[in-house]
Amino acid sequence: MIKSVGGVILALLLLSACRTQQVAPRITSQQLTPPSLTVNKGAYLIKPGDRLRIRNLNWLTDLFPDPALMKSTPAGGRSEGGFAVSVSSDGLVSMPEIGTLKVEGLTRKQIADTLSVLYRDVVRDPLFEVEITNLRVKVLGAVNNQGLIPLEKEYQSLGEVLAKAGGIRYNEAGNTIQIIRGEGDHQQTVEYDFQQLGNPLIVNQYIYDNDIVYVPPSRENLRTVKFQRNLTLVQPLLVALNLAVLVLNLANR
């Protein structure tokens, strides 16, 4: 009786493991050659909904940030500070002393230069820096820290993004790494293997806002995860069958 029960459980596990996985949506892929890897999409253009942090780097002026309120970082630089503002639906921001300013379609540098001109009669020697705080990329798959990674500027290198994600879990990863760019039907995947990570043109490739960096798990790792999941599903049945065998054995004594 026990042997037959064990055979049933083994059959259930084998059938569960052999079921066909769902087919993933098809995404157009291509192999990038070194010249195309160095393509720069250009400076990011501000759009409605963006969040900006604006700093006046001249601490001798009275306009933000107030040096007395600035916190020092371990490296001795400035921390958050500055003036936080969101771009309205009509592309405007509201600034102290000068009122509203149209920033939609401008780059960070263009906004900083414009502010330096507009504030020259308000503060002494204004010198502004503009940061976009809502730029993000997704890092998924066999990395130590999956999730959203903030970009410190319009783009960062693939190596920097992977470092922020805690690095790759090579014992779980397959042989490839993917960068997925675009939305909807216009997505494009750039795929290459780990052996190319030693190529500076690859590791220094630009990663932009809304890109997805995906490190696919290996087939062996997927099989292990699937088997463990199936075992978890079958475990209650296993307990029930063992209990039934125990009750039958006690009843036959």
What single letter denotes the amino acid at residue 126? Answer: P
Burial class (CB in 10 A: 0-12, 13-18, 19+), 56: buried
CATH architecture of structural domain 31-42+135-217 = Roll (3.10)
Would you tell me how many other CB atoms lie within 10 Å of the CB of residue 25? Answer: 6
Q: How many CA atoms lie within 13 A of 193 on its CB side?
A: 4
Q: Please, what sign has the CA dihedral across residues 148, 131, 106, 162?
A: negative
51-132: in CATH 3.50.50.60: no
Phi-psi region of 56 (alpha: psi -120 to 50; beta: other; left: phi over 0): beta
pLDDT (tens digit per residue) in 7-55: 555 555 555 555 544 444 444 554 444 434 444 567 889 999 999 999 8
Q: Does 78 or 127 have the greater pLDDT score?
A: 127
What single letter denotes the amino acid at residue 46? Answer: I
Mapping DSSP to helix (H, G, I), strand (E, B) and coil, where does residue 148 land? strand
In angstroms, the Cα distances linking 115 to 47, 66, 127, 136 are 18, 17, 8, 26
What local confidence, expressed as pLDDT, does residue 40 receive?
57
Q: What is the mean pLDDT of the chain?
A: 76
* pTM score, whole prediction: 0.61
Phi-psi region of 48 (alpha: psi -120 to 50; beta: other; left: phi over 0): beta
pLDDT (tens digit per residue) in 146-166: 999 998 888 889 999 999 999
What local confidence, expressed as pLDDT, does residue 136 receive?
93
Q: How many CA atoms lie within 13 A of 104 on its CB side?
A: 10
Would you tell me how many other CB atoms lie within 10 Å of the CB of residue 137? Answer: 22
pLDDT (tens digit per residue) in 119-143: 988 888 888 999 999 999 999 988 9
Would 31-42+135-217 and 51-132 be classified into the same CATH topology? Answer: no
Give the integer Cα–Cα distance in Å for 143 and 217. Answer: 9
| Mean pLDDT along residues 79-96 | 85
Domain ranges for the chain, please list them.
31-42+135-217, 51-132
Give the integer Cα–Cα distance in Å for 142 and 219. Answer: 12
